[in-house]
Amino acid sequence: MTAAATTRAFRVAYDGREYAGFQRQPHATTVEGTLLRALAEHGILDRGDGPTHATPPGYAAAGRTDAGVSAVAQTVAFEAPAWLTPRAFNGHLPGSVRVWAAADVPDGFHATHDAVRRTYRYHLYAPESGTASADPTHAVTDDRVRDALDRLSGRHDFHNLTSDDAGTVRDLTATATRDGDLLVIEVAADGFPRALVRRLVAAVRAVGRGHSEPSRIDRLLASEPVPGEIGVGPAPPEPLVLWDVAYDGVAFDVDREAAESARVAFGERYRTARHVAAATGAIRDRVASGDPGEPSGRRDDAA
């Protein structure tokens, strides 16, 4: 490492809806590819060919989120020049990817292997049964949800909730907090095999809705493989957020200017999503009302 560079870890927030996952891949737009392209534009590494940018010395990321999954505390670390602050990093990033905090870390730090705990939050639309807003298609009984999460918490072999063949034994904590019609399901562990959180949410949702008995959770945690007909597919990726990644002895400093830039960028994306939701909600309500509209004397197809 040169005197002008130090190993630095960066917190990265991103809206994963427009990306084919975090990990770079050929012929697809990914978060990691976007970060590496920004570093190339900063002159920190060679651009490479297409998505195959080189990586800076010591580069690693905390995790590989799937397509559609977002993050607030994804962490990447590498040998960085002293001038590469979060606000400088953002100079070549789109609004959907924002770096907002950083920490200088010891030489040899590895963003993947040195993480001691990862936390995900899944924002599940699940009105509580018996409330005025309860949609019977999506409503859940909170006590059933919490019972299922209690069964899943602890050290288990989650081989029936992932397609991975290794690394399936994890010490996991799963809880839920009600926020209006949403249940925020928080899952923390030392690491996660592929799609575990989304399959866990799908299993808990089925129990909460009364489609499965709580004993199904015990069956999924058993050593015997489950047959295909009682297997669990993953819940949709868009409500899932990589919420936190913890490292022993590492304290991140928030770059206030970069954090404000992230607040503004994600605020705009939130408003856009609300506008789209309002439009689709209006379509739903009109169709549900059975109102076909009145005949008109003229035709105007142009918007």
End-to-end CA distance of the chain: 59
Q: Which amino acid is at 140?
A: V
Cβ-proximal residues to 67 (8 Å cutoff; 6+ apart), any chain: 16, 19, 20, 21, 237
Would you say 100 and 13 are in contact if contact means Cβ atoms under 8 Å apart?
Answer: yes
The closest of 198, 208, 212 to 178, measured between CA atoms, is: 208
Helical (H) or strand (E) element with 97: strand 97-104
Pairing of strands 115-125, 182-189: antiparallel
Q: Which residues are catalytic?
A: 66
Q: What are phi and psi of 120, to 5 degrees?
A: -115, 150
Please give the distance of CA 108 from its chain centroid, rounded to a whole number.
27
Per-residue CA distances from 78 to 23, 47, 62, 81, 91 (Å): 16, 16, 12, 10, 18
